[in-house]
Amino acid sequence: MPPSPAPAAPLVVALDGPAGSGKSTLARDLARELRWPFLDTGAMYRALTVVALDRGVGADDAAGLARLAQRIDLRYDPATGRVWVDGVELTGRIRTPEVNAAVSRVAEIRAVRAVMRGHQQRCAAQAGRMVAEGRDMGTAVFPDAALKVYVDASPEERVRRRVEEMRSKDPSVDAAAVAESIESRDEQDAGREEDPLRPAPGSVPWPPADAQRVARGDPGGLPAARALILDTTTLAPGEVLAAVLALVRSALPPAAPR
Ligand code: DC
């Protein structure tokens, strides 16, 4: 019997960037427009953090956290972004201030990252195509992604966006506390040894003015590079989406769903 062909590598659009850069909004909008599944990898690290807090495993107990990551049954639904651990849905509990404060420390442990990487790669392999969002999508989890975009914005703008988003749910949110939380997570995510937050190797800047031209339908601003750094500070969410959508469509192989 002839050997069965190796499964085709999944088609991945990899989006990385710091908190408040606009990458989550972009990832969701892009997945909706393309009708592709969406992988929110931060939700996986957050779900593990909820369980660690519940079970009293401290953020400084690397061995305990690694064991926990290996033992739990973590499920993520790419169609809805919902997460479960050992059959219990945790989606509504992953974005609390307690989880925000602990998650970066959980995510810096090498053995935890190895388990998460396995979950993420299996998810994409099962779906066949994926918009994947996180900190190490283009650098570690999907190094062969069809397109890698490192989404960035100035620290002031990132804080402003996050405050606006949080105040829509709770008008009493303190801007200084949000700034401090973002700054400390930036430091931990970019400064850690394991899969630090950074653009994929060989990434080139895509000037916002060129992205804006593409968003208006002018193909002259489409870059040839497939690993880009996009500063969204001066761009509206709709401009970011239109520009990256044009880029994805130009980067995909001809037969790919678009
Ligand atoms: O994207 P987010 O804010 O939900 O991510 C939560 C934390 O998880 C973030 O501080 C860093 C970590 N994370 C990571 O280390 N690697 C990923 N691929 C995604 C998130």
Task: Give the three-state DSSP class for 7.
Answer: coil
Select from 103, 109, 113, 161 the residue to mutate for testing ligand 1; criterion: most ligand atoms less than 8 Å from CB.
103
What per-residue confidence (pLDDT) applies to 176? 94
103 found inside a domain: yes
Q: How remote is the CA of residue 142 from the centroid of ligand 1, in Å?
A: 16
At 27-46, the pLDDT tens digits run 999 999 999 999 999 999 99
At 160-178, the pLDDT tens digits run 999 998 899 889 999 999 9
> How confident is residue 252, by pLDDT bands cut at 50, 70 and 90?
confident
Task: Give the three-state DSSP class for 236.
Answer: coil
Quick check: CB of 93 below 6 Å from ligand 1?
no
- Statement: residue 4 has pLDDT above 70: no
1 found inside a domain: no
193 found inside a domain: yes
At 46-79, the pLDDT tens digits run 999 999 999 999 989 999 999 999 999 999 999 8
Round the CA-based radius of gyration of the chain to a whole number and report it: 18
> How confident is residue 2, by pLDDT bands cut at 50, 70 and 90?
low
Quick check: CB of 19 below 6 Å from ligand 1?
yes
**Distance (Å, whole) CA 64 – CA 52:** 9
2 found inside a domain: no
- Statement: residue 8 has pLDDT above 90: no
Secondary element (H or E) of residue 231: strand 227-231
Say if CB 106 and CB 52 are below 8 A apart: yes
At 193-221, the pLDDT tens digits run 999 999 999 999 999 999 999 999 999 99
- Statement: residue 181 has pLDDT above 80: yes
- Statement: residue 179 has pLDDT above 80: yes
Quick check: CB of 223 below 6 Å from ligand 1?
no
99 found inside a domain: yes
**Distance (Å, whole) CA 123 – CA 129:** 9
What per-residue confidence (pLDDT) applies to 258? 63
Task: Give the three-state DSSP class for 77.
Answer: strand
Q: How remote is the CA of residue 58 from the centroid of ligand 1, in Å?
A: 18
118 found inside a domain: yes
- Average pLDDT for the chain: 93
CA angle in degrees (0–180, nearest 5) for 194-200-203? 155
Strand partners, 31: none
Q: Which domain holds residue 114?
A: 11-250
CATH number of domain containing 64: 3.40.50.300
| Sheet of strand 74-77: strand arrangement | 74-77, 82-85, 88-89
Q: How remote is the CA of residue 103 from the centroid of ligand 1, in Å?
A: 7
256 found inside a domain: no
